[in-house]
Structure 1
Amino acid sequence: MSPKKLLIPSAIAIMLAVVACGGDNEPVNTTPPLPAGRWIAGDLHTHTTQSADADVSQTLDKVLSKGFTSYGLDWMAVTNHLRVSTRDDQGATLAAQIPMSLGVERYETPRIQELQAGGTYADKLIFSGVEWDMPTHDHIGVALMDGGAKGLKEFEYLFTTRDAAMFDAADVAAWKAKYGETRYNKTAADALQAFTWLKTNYPDTSYAVINHPSRNKGSYTIADFRAFNDAAPNIMFAIEGMVGNQMEPDRGGYTAAYTDDNALLRVYGGVDYVVAKLGGPWDALLGEGRHIWNLTDSDTHFKIVGGNSSGYFPGEYAKNYVFNSGTGKPAAKDLLAGLRSGKMFSVYGDLINALDFNLSTKDDRKEMGGELKVAGGDKVTITIRFKTPAKNNYEKPVDSGTAANLKPVVDHVDLIVGDVGAKATPGSAAYSVATNASTRVVKRFTAADWKVDADGYYSVTYETMASKNQYFRLRGTNLGVDVAGLTANGEPLADQRTGTTDNTQRFNDINDRNYRSLWFYSNPVFVTLR
């Protein structure tokens, strides 16, 4: 008997997909194999003590240790507010406030380089970004992944109201030689100019993604999202739909009054209305074929300090998984390519930690973010395979170091479909439409539907016939379809405020609330008739 061979997950998937052909007239399955690689987990939205609204104890060292050592992340963007900085990376008060770009140059970058050179995080990808207060709007996560301090300083000068005297005089002279006295820091047109600037100066190494889009009333319209994406589709390619600050009494820090007219300003299972609403704004954007993806982040400022709680640490509750073809330390260019590709999923509470979601015909296969081109009437096979970890990071009591040893269990996975039509034209009525009426749950899968494969993945397939341009995406949860106060007919309900008076009890109630309500969202796969 020949020795058994170790099969990697992609090899097993290939075996399952191959069709044995017994005769000359039978079609040969030429579907390409699944690519080799791994899921790398990370966070694009974190704060340290250099942000004035973060706790003084939230040092860079602490944030990195929590994310990488405690919670197993592979990559992280440090994204302090693009405002004045009053503290260094260790929380010491500066003699005078400085622009955040200078704070990154003086304190953040050298300390990151020191830790990585010393071997502490040699295998981790760490880079600096910022959270920008966009004129007339809200917060945008921006990074120039190879721009260094020079590019970030120019961005801060151009697109904030920072006093020019705070920058180096020689830099200001050079910027004025390029732009005259013009700065873009007041109007919606100025905000839009930033996307053009990034596309012009850092087309292959930058991003600008929307943070907590509905937290503040009037921050954005869907026309804004379309305009940002039209201006720079490879720069504005994502929305932080699964928001951070999950330890707030108002989940996600969404504090608008609980009235009917504020329904759009709530989170639903911790997810912003933009993404959580079936047939809502995200589906409207996908319904134009736009490559705009969903993200999650910690938005960490502190967890529990005194009588206040804010958010979990990086990787503790929220994770983005991006597929990476390498096996060693991820490179910045590869992470950005993965983010742009859409081959990623986002999750709360480690509900899942791997996801193979693909659509295939007999001769092609596309994964999340991809486009499967088919002929009308072609059979399309939808494959869903996911893994769950042995336990998540739930502690009871909260922040005690005592693991609750809770294994997350997926109750059901929704396969969601929506039609894809023409891209809306700027200035047209369609440009302001924030719904996609065709979006629906086409199939709800439970444990009765899936099986466990040899590699530990839960797997299920579904077949459909291609008849129009569409996209398919997934949403999964540990909740049943009708859980009082949490779900109705499978749809997440608006999260209610956790207002327990006693501080310690409130912190525990918030933590219990969050781990009771876990979700994951995939990015879509598009089907286009050729």
Structure 2
Amino acid sequence: MTNVRIDSKARRGRFLSPLPLTGLLGLLGLATLAACGGGGGSSGTEPEAGAWTTGDLHVHTVQSDDSRTTQTLDFVLGKAFATHGLDWMAVTNHLRSSKYDNNGTLLAAPVAFGYGMDAYELPRVKALQSAGTYDKKLIFSGFEWDTPTHDHMGIGIFDGSATLTSSARAAQEFQYVFTTGDESLFKAEDVARWKAKYSQRTNTTAADALKGIAWLKENYPDSSYALINHPSRNPGKYTIADFRQMNDLAPKIVFAIEGMVGNQMEPDRGGYTSAYIDANKPNRTYGGTDYVVAQLGGVWDALLGEGRRIWNVANSDSHFEIDAAGNSSGYYPGEYAKNYVWQSKDSVGMAGLLNSLRAGRSFGVFGDLINALDFTASGSAGTAAMGQELVANAGQTVTVKIRFKSPPVNNYQRPVNSGNTGNMVPKVHHVDLIVGDVGAKAVPGTPAYDVATNPSTRVLKRFTSADWTLGSDGYYSITTTLTASKSQYFRLRGTNLAEDVAGLSAGGEPLADPRVSTTDNATRHDQINDRNYGSLWFYSNPIFVSVK
């Protein structure tokens, strides 16, 4: 075992034998959850009972105006659950107008999406599940909000307490107040009621965006979320002060950033189409990941360095994969991007999922680079897992355990979308244990509120195949120790890339993803797919170690 001080430079270590860990169970919605060490987070020696579940928080159907008529609700659900085996999924169409029903049939007149959700989306899901189709899956409806002056936010609003259900009524009211949709899209009786309730619509300024979040906090404080989608896709749409302000306003609602973005099949990875100039380097993806999360010591690390519980998630942002005109957009739900979310035995259904997401009990992965991850920190006070906090005394030894597993093959196809698997075996080249100091929370109105870096963040240790052992259960295991001297957070990232790969990585850091500009459609699609599968990453959420 190697003793590693938390202020040391990255260096290699030895390894210990693995501990048993049940793999991905995928049992969200089932009554029985197996005992699994993957969750960690216990004060005793017994593993936490629960299961890893997989899902996607950002998926579109034909009811979104930038989707395609082939992207019907039934088609998307089939891709997510029958083809790619997800456990849960959010349908998140744009909060604009619905021009089609679930089947791609043109409506007589467009309606506000809140009504389309109510008339088509929710009843169809209910009918399928009542008939036994996807009845063991968790399917819920949210929407993607054109947030005033910013880019998009993925919103979920739920009625109930112990049992949560998607609220079309809330979506309709939110859409009227906080978007610019024409009044003709709404029912006249609803408009009359809302006009009596609100002095005006609130949909143009940055202050209006905060009012929308405040509305969620006032009306659905425990049963809503607001996910910051593709934050750096367009220059100037979000600043770190925006993130801080939103999180300060409603920490139980604004608790996650879509760092591992969707739309990966676009020529500009993630749909990040800003001009390829130095000024727009923050508006690129790096290994498919938004600069906010991909930059070591950048925005995400600055937020974590204040002890903020703001997490990273991975989504598909599926609109369509390849259309009849040869345009490409994104992979289907579960095909390329996955969120793995730990749910304890007592944390099931929508309320349980929301609690686990809010608690950061999750990690994101591209291209099935891994399909299980056990990451814990242990000391005399117990054990903490992703999203949790371990309290330690100064000078105390903390033991960090990392266990991961990769599937035999991933979903790489050649040609893309052909159904012909490429028999690609995902293989982790190295795993980075990243550390950053935790200090005081930045105060609004001070210069610190605009600081978007955390200079203390660094790769504490880089592990390669020389540092891990393979157990009979298929898990690679690493154990290392460190001496606690100050309050810090620890997070993981891993990749299939070597440390220096021309155009893709340098010194272990991801480089900006190149654009694929080949004219021939089929060739371009395969080159995009090769680009994406050639640069795979996973990111864990952090463990906080607070030194008293």
TM > 0.5 fold call: yes
Distance in 1 between the 2:75 and 2:236 partners? 35
Structure 1 CA distance for aligned equivalents of residues 316 and 281 of structure 2? 23
In 2, distance between residues paired with 1:232 and 1:294? 17
Q: For 1:78, what is the secondary structure of its paired residue?
A: strand
Distance verdict in 2 for CA 1:259–1:362, change over 3 Å: same
**Alignment pair present for 1:98 and 2:78:** no
**CA distance 1:324–1:12, shift in 2 (3 Å):** closer
Counterparts of 1:46-445 in structure 2 under 5 Å?
Answer: 46-146=59-159, 148-179=167-198, 181-305=199-323, 306-326=325-345, 330-445=348-463
- Residues 1:524 and 1:398: Cα distance change in structure 2 (over 3 Å): same
Unmatched 5+ residue regions in structure 1?
1-6, 18-28
Q: CA deviation at 1:517?
A: 0.7
Question: Does the CA contact (< 8 Å) of 2:58 and 2:91 recur in 1?
Answer: yes
* Paired residues of 1:128 and 1:145 also in contact (CA < 8 A): no
Q: CA deviation at 1:263?
A: 0.6
For the 8 Å contact 2:35–2:49, the answer to whether it is kept is no
Partner of 1:517: 535
Q: Which moved more, 1:192-201 or 1:161-170?
A: 161-170
Please state how far the C-alpha of 1:31 moved relative to its aligned partner: 4.1
Q: Give the Å deviation of 1:8.
A: 6.1
* Count of residue pairs brought into register by the alignment: 509
Within 1, Cα distance between the matches of 2:473 and 2:338? 22
Taking the aligned partners of 1:399 and 1:246, their CA distance within structure 2 comes to 14
2:35 and 2:51 in contact (8 A); partners too: no
Q: Shift of the alpha carbon at 1:417?
A: 0.2
Shift of 1:9: 3.5
Q: What is the CA-CA distance between 1:330 and the residue it aligns to? A: 4.4
Quote the offset at 1:439 in angstroms: 0.3
Q: Secondary structure, in 3 states, of the residue corresponding to 1:309?
A: coil
Alpha-carbon contact 1:41-1:319 (below 8 Å) kept: yes
Q: Is the partner of 1:64 in helix, strand or coil?
A: helix
Tell me the secondary structure at the aligned position of residue 350 of structure 1.
Answer: coil
CA displacement 1:184-240 (0-9 Å, x = unmatched): 101111100111111111111110010000001111110000000001001000000
How far is the alpha carbon of 1:183 from its aligned partner?
A: 1.7
Is the 1:32–1:363 Cα contact (8 Å) retained in structure 2?
Answer: no
TM-score, with length taken from structure 2: 0.90
* Cα distance change, pair 80–363 in 1 and its aligned pair in 2 (3 A): same
Letter in 1 for 2:173: E
Instruction: Tell me the distance in 1 between the aligned counterparts of 2:50 and 2:489.
Output: 25
| 1:357-379 Cα deviation digits (max 9, x unpaired) | 01110341100011111111110
Q: Which letter maps to 2:395?
A: G
Shift of residue 13 of structure 1?
8.8
User: Partners in 1 of 2:78 and 2:348 — Cα distance?
Assistant: 18
CA contact (8 A) 2:381 2:391 kept: no
Q: Distance in 1 between matches of 2:46 and 2:225?
A: 30
Question: Secondary structure of 1:417's match?
Answer: strand
Residue type at the aligned position of 2:364: S
Partners of 1:124 and 1:485 in 2: CA distance? 40
State the shift of 1:145 in Å. 2.8
Query: Does the 8 Å CA contact 2:367/2:411 hold for their aligned counterparts?
Result: yes
> Kindly tell me: are residues 426 and 95 of structure 1, through their superposed partners in 2, closer, same or farther at Cα, counting changes over 3 Å?
same
Identity %: 61
| C-alpha contact 1:125 1:330 (8 A) present in aligned 2 | no
CA distance in structure 2 between the partners assigned to 1:12 and 1:171 by the alignment: 49
* Cα drift, residue 175 of structure 1: 2.2
> 1:331 deviation in Å?
0.4
Can you list the C-alpha shifts for 1:292-351, whole angstroms capped at 9, x where unaligned?
A: 000111001110112211100000000000001249x94000110110010100000000
Listed as ranges, the gaps of 5+ residues in structure 2 are 1-19, 24-33, 160-165
SS at match of 1:114: helix
Change (3 A) 1:105 1:285: same
Cα shift readout 1:220-265 (whole Å, capped 9, x = no counterpart): 1100000000010010000000000000001111111111111100
Extract structure 1 runs of 4+ deviating beyond 4 A. Answer: 10-14
- What's the CA shift string for 1:352-405, capped at 9, x where partnerless? 111110111034110001111111111001110111111110111111111111
Write the distance in 1 (CA, Å) between the matches of 2:451 and 2:46.
Answer: 39
2:27 counterpart residue number: none
- Distance in 2, matches of 1:46 and 1:12, equals 31
Shift of 1:171: 2.4
- CA drift at 1:30: 7.0
Conserved 8 A contact 1:269-1:517: yes
Asked if structure 1 preserves the Cα contact closer than 8 Å seen for 2:255 and 2:358, the reply is yes
- Matches of 2:514 and 2:185 in 1, distance apart? 43
> How much has 1:407 moved relative to structure 2?
1.5
Between the two structures, name the one with larger relative contact order (CA 8 Å, sep ≥ 6). Answer: 2
